[in-house]
Structure 1
Amino acid sequence: MASYNFADGIYTIWKAPNKETLEKIMEDFPVFKKGIVEVVQSYPPTTEYIVRMWEMILAFAQK
């Protein structure tokens, strides 16, 4: 989705259904597989982020 150049290297943002799927795709591109970190928030917040937050809040409320 995006790529950013920093002094420490290049950071890219990918959209995938889950981390495991992205890791599987990246097996063919080891340069991108250096470190995959899930991003759970973006600005402005996406619909997926809002829904995920409500799911977490409801899950904590049930405990």
Structure 2
Amino acid sequence: MIASMSHDPKHPSLAYHLDRIFIPPLNFLTRSQSLYFFSQISFIYYSLILFTALWIIRRNSA
């Protein structure tokens, strides 16, 4: 799935590690449930990045 993005076996990508962590527990779920789960995680992840970036910008400009 996501692990195919990394072709270097010595330095696997973060997505590869996320695959190793999240895919096995999700095997009992349906595909739609796991996709919903991943979309929730990515939404939280990107909102955290956006919030941190805005906080740094506001702190530097003040």
Select the structure with the greater relative contact order (CA < 8 A; seq sep ≥ 6).
2
TM-score normalised to structure 2 length: 0.31
TM-score by length of 1: 0.30
**Structure richer in helix, relative to its length:** 2
